[in-house]
Amino acid sequence: MTERRRGAIARSEREYVIGPSHLAWDGTCLTIDIDEIGMPLPRRVRGRVRVYPSSLSPFSTALDDHGRHRWGPLAACARVEAEFDQPGLRWSGHAYLDSNEGDEPIDRAFVEWDWSRSTMADGSTAVIYDVRQRAARDRVLALRFARDGRVEPFLPPERQRLARTGWRIARTMRSDAEVSPRVTHTLEDTPFYTRSVISSGLLGEQVVSMHETLNVPRLTSTMVQWMLPVRMPRAFAPRGGRG
């Protein structure tokens, strides 16, 4: 999460280099080699992550009414293996890889969104993008991605409130009416963004979901803009790329 100069970036058909870190695709596995300095307390972060997709998806859809912001999962159903030397961590499990892109700054279209993805009993992945637009009605995407790449929409359940975060961000989760969503673990809690593991109900199943809330006015506030370089440093970005 370090912002780097143009000279530190290189890309080919199968490799993407970002300073001392890089990603490589061999046709079956995406290998991510990470060699960075963590912030705000400087410490080495060095390791390798391997992502094995069940299938690759060309699916992409607009998040806003004007089609200026788009999202799509590259691999909605995948397996991940992570091995880190610094810090010494190792794990494996379900994985998900997606992509967002936009033709304008995010604050022109959105006020807030809640997003979740859940691994279902049959191995498929259900994603709900619950978007509050700045100058248009709310927009909800509810899609189920099969392991073979097929995509099917489904009717999302109603919103239910979650507890506010430590930074007092309001957030919601769409869960089956008879199941109250419950935050089991908070992974990231910032002034404008939070990511959590949530137990909830979806499509008649009890599921464990990855959930995030983005509050755009908080993101664009003067205070947060001054804080961002501490979390995503620019001053330490080298000019040279990886050899």
pLDDT at 3: 85
Give the pair of three-digit tokens for residue 130.
């619950």
Whether 200 has a pLDDT exceeding 80, the answer reads yes
3-class SS letters over the chain: CCCCCHHHEEECCCEEEECCEEEEECCCCEEEEEEEEECCCCEEEEEEEEEEECCCCCCCEECCCCCCEEEEEEEEEEEEEEEEEECCEEEEEEEEEEEEEECCCHHHCEEEEEEEEEECCCCCEEEEEEEEECCCCCEEEEEEECCCCCEEECCCCCEEEECCCCCCCCEEEECCCCCCCEEEEEEEECCCEEEEEEEEEECCEEEEEEEEEEEHHHHCCHHHHHHHHHHCCCCCCCCCCCC
Calpha distance 200→179 (Å, rounded): 6
- State the Cα–Cα distance between residues 157 and 175, nearest whole angstrom: 6
pLDDT band at 241 (very low <50, low <70, confident <90, very high): very low
133 vs 50, 65, 165, 180, CA distance in Å? Answer: 35, 9, 22, 26
Q: What is the pLDDT of residues 187-197, one digit of tens each?
A: 999 999 999 99
Q: pLDDT tens-digit profile of 113-123?
A: 999 999 999 99
**Tens digit of pLDDT for each residue in 142-185?**
999 999 999 999 999 999 999 999 999 999 999 999 999 999 99
pLDDT at 113: 98
Is the omega angle on the peptide bond into residue 156 within 30 degrees of 0, that is, cis?
no
Q: What is the mean pLDDT of the chain?
A: 93
Mean pLDDT to the nearest integer, 203-229: 95
Task: Give the integer Cα–Cα distance in Å for 82 and 49.
Answer: 4
pLDDT at 236 over 80: no
What pLDDT is attached to residue 135? Answer: 94
Question: Is it the case that residue 90 has pLDDT exceeding 50?
Answer: yes
Whose tokens are 């930074």? That residue is 167
**Among all chains, which residue has been given the structure tokens 């997606």?**
98
Could you give the maximum distance between any two Cα atoms of the chain, in Å? 56
pLDDT band at 234 (very low <50, low <70, confident <90, very high): confident
- Contacts of residue 204, defined as CB under 8 A and 6 or more positions apart, other chains included, come to 176
Q: Does 238 score more than 50 pLDDT?
A: no
Is this prediction's pTM over 0.85?
Answer: yes
Report the C-alpha gap between 126 and 154 in whole angstroms. Answer: 9
